[in-house]
Copies of this chain bind each other. A is one copy, B any other.
Amino acid sequence: MAKTDVLSLAILGMLAEQPLHGYQIRKRLSGELGPFRALSYGSLYPCLKRMVASGYIAADDSNSTDVTRPGGSKRSRIAYQLTDAGTDRLARELASSGASSWDDEAFDVRFSLFGKTDSETRLRILEGRRTRLAERLEDVAEGLARQRDRLDAYTAELQRHGLERVEREVEWLDKLIEDERSATRGTDHHTASAGDK
């Protein structure tokens, strides 16, 4: 288990704020995470089903308050909400930078949940992501050096642009890391910081 697929984590985080039904989850997910992620229903509903089966969320199919029809089959709108197990699961997930939060997608989801994450973990994730990008940078630079001559102008430009993009993301991370550190110094530092490690 523990193989937290990214989607279910995002859903857990979303349901922590309020119960939602599938259709709403999809819209928010699409909006919340950058210009990415158009997530299809064919992906979402089976995931919700699995999560119900695992006991992390409960389907509240109350067609409810208005039982005019004998068959009672209005059927639309199934609201999902976190169970206790789901709340636990989310808390555990949020506390550890567990199953690789460094991939592009996983990082975005983790980052969008930073509001519910403690500052130590935030820092760990930001630094992990930074390390990962720095490695990529090295790989590319190395690759470039090895085959420099064989590259036509367009391929070289593509490389340059890709490199630039990653460099900018590293700068972004550096800024965030710095902010995080100064915020920590200011506020919730509980153990004295004297020292070594």
Interface residues of chain A, those whose CB is within 8 Å of chain B, are: 28, 30-36, 108, 111-115, 136-137, 139-140, 143-144, 146-147, 151-155, 157-159, 161-163, 165-166, 168, 172, 176
| Across-interface contacts of A30 in B (CB, < 8 A) | 143
Question: Do the beta carbons of A35 and B137 come within 8 Å of each other?
Answer: yes
Q: How many copies are assembled?
A: 2
Closest to A112 in B: B155
- Verify B35–A146 contact, CB threshold 8 A: no
Shortest A36–chain B CB gap in Å is 7
Determine if B35 and A140 form an interchain contact, defined as CB atoms under 8 angstroms apart: yes
A108 touches B158 (CB 8 A): yes
Residue numbers in B under 8 Å from A115 (CB-CB)? 152-155
